[in-house]
Amino acid sequence: MIFPDDWTLIDKINFVQRKILLNSVLYYIYDTNFISDAHYDNCCKKLVKLHEAYGPDFVNDSMYGYAFYDFDGSTGYHLYSRLTFEDQTWLAILIQQKLDRKEV
């Protein structure tokens, strides 16, 4: 995964957290996916490394750190249920828009 040069470590964490959240919700809630399992696993491994590089403050400093506080990359099953209602709603809108555009 390549990031823009001007992104900070927390920018990278936020991006990968969102990507994992969106794709785990698509997979576990909507029973579909837009990326391969291998790509998802690579994202999870990358996020774990980013969390380690940042340290424990990522929980407070990142957008979704509160949902990823014990994330080890093994599953994203529980992440959606940890989100606030507002974040669940926002994700549902994004996902519905993506599903509406998906070619079947």
The pLDDT, as a whole number, for residue 13 is 98
In the chain, what percentage of residues exceed pLDDT 70?
Answer: 97
Tens-place pLDDT, residues 35-66 = 999 999 999 999 999 999 999 999 999 999 99
- 102 pLDDT higher than 80: no
Contacts 24+ apart (CB under 8 A), 63-66: 63/14, 63/17, 63/18, 64/14, 64/17, 64/18, 64/21, 65/13, 65/17
Section 74-97 average pLDDT: 93
